Chain A
Amino acid sequence: MRTIFLIAIDSIRALLHQRLLLGLMLASLALTIFFSIIMSKERTVITESFSDDTMTNNSVMGTNQMSAVDRRNFQDKMESASTTFQAMFYQVASFGGSIVALFIFSTAVASEIRKGTIRLTLSKPVSRTQFLLGKYLGGVVVMAAFALLTWFAILIFAQNLELSPVIKWAPWLMFCRQLMLGSLAMLLSLFMHPIIASVLAFVAGNGFYSLHNPLYYILPSYKDFNVFFQVLEGTLLNLKDVAFLSLYAADFVVIMLLLALWRFRTKELV
């Protein structure tokens, strides 16, 4: 276990020195903050424009109070705008995180093989299993830190917003999705170039198999981890759903890592 941690720490160190990755993370975070601000601003604009309209109507009608119809209109307008922006925001944050995850996990082992640094590491008493698990763990820690940072940014910049109840599960589900993507990308990167592995990993899990489709249990599926649809459709997620999805993700990651270990054990490392 100690060796796995040492490799993980080294992996984190390596990731934090990659300018491209840091650039991707910053860009993703900047987009998240940008959308949070836009969401807050839009809410203010709608509120103000609606107040102006109501004031005009009221002054014509000689009343000071918002009618029940106006209130309903206002609420509908607010809900619709909020839902659209939250769904869009989720998509942006999720896509950014996915790109970061794909970059981290598809290059974790592949870049060590390409640069030849793996030869020195594996000449030490480090097994291939420890090496691969350490690399994955390092990626998980960086992704967790990134997910937390993204969530703090949302809390800070979208604090005036009434968020959909589904959104509260979004960071966790997003994180699960990224780990699934990452494990698949890591496995594929042991067979092919990391860029192709990343594209395939991204495409492979975006088939829209629902929970009731048998393919859901055979092929990777990220669909239910994307709260975009729940936000748009206004459906709710309960704790049971989230627990099931978490188990599905854990199961998926374990299978992908086992396959990656099987491949890595026999892989030529020069």
Chain B
Amino acid sequence: MDFTFTHCMLSPNDQKNVFVVIPAYNEQESITKVLNELSSLPYNIIVVDDGSTPPLEGLLKNTPVHLLKHRVNLGQGAALQTGIEFALSKNADFIVTYDADGQHRAADIETLLWPLRQHQTDITLGSRFISNTSQLPPGRRSVLKLARYINFFFTGLLLSDAHNGLRALTSKAAQQIRLRQNGMAHATEIIAEIKKHRLKFTEVPVTIHYTDYSKKKGQTVWSSFRIFFDILLNKLFK
């Protein structure tokens, strides 16, 4: 009885099973805050602990979270793929990827889900450059501009934001996309997979909070070179 009652209360859209996948590697300082922000919202949360030392498990006691642990550190791409596969096994309708370093705003998730709920698109990608609400540290803007053209070079798609961790996918899209880039190059790989499987995508404006912590954990110019070579080597070796 209870069950049918709640059914009537919700509009069809609210019943959608949303899973937020958070890959986390040594994010002890920020993970609790991120989860506090998310736990009031009607989403299922998956944290993939990518081999953190000390493990994140202790910090996550009694939180509404599915915790998956990589025994060894594999990289953000691998953690995302693990979380996405687990979400699919739990019959997720929509899967959101979300960074653990506190850069994202939980309120942006609904903005990303909206076009999916309307069946307009298969994937929405967060972009900090559509509206100018993010205060970028100096230097970061030019690195991302460069990365944008590197992505274009490898994938043929020119997006406004090259490396934004906030995305939303339908289960159909998530089943087709398979990330083989364990490291940071997965951001480019996702775009390549979108193109390969001819998925429909939309860029959606989101706000990125730059904190001292996230700046410290974030990508540098040097890591963009590493990503570049990861992609290049992956092209050579299937």
**Do these two chains interact?**
no
